Amino acid sequence: FNFVPPKGIELSRLPGRRADAIAHYRAAIALKPDYWEAHFNLGLALAAEPDGTAEAIRHFETVLRLQPDCAPAREMLEQLVAD
């Protein structure tokens, strides 16, 4: 099962719509807390926010608990922790 919230992905690509994308990822996670792809995408969106690093780290950690072999999440986590 590889469901990706199309609206969140679409919004995250549009200038000025990151907050809307974040809301869609949060809604997807509320419906399916183990939806690691939404945690990953939310982490990416939050990492781009000036004050989103701490929450982004938590979401990438969640991805790695759910999908331990997710190299992109590990790389993002390492990058955020190093900054």
Residue 55 burial (CB count, 10 A): 16
Residue 10 pLDDT exceeds 80: no
Give residue 69's identity as a one-letter amino acid code. Answer: D
- Checking if the pLDDT of 3 tops 50, the result is no
34 vs 56: CA distance, rounded Å: 16
Across the chain, mean pLDDT equals: 85
SS3 8: helix
Rounded-to-integer distance, Cα 83 and Cα 35, Å: 27
C-alpha–C-alpha distance, residues 43 and 48, integer Å: 9
- Is the pLDDT assigned to residue 14 strictly greater than 90? no
- pLDDT tens string 33-46: 999 999 999 999 99
Q: How far apart are CA 68 and CA 46, in angstroms?
A: 21
Q: pLDDT category, 21, cuts 50, 70, 90?
A: confident
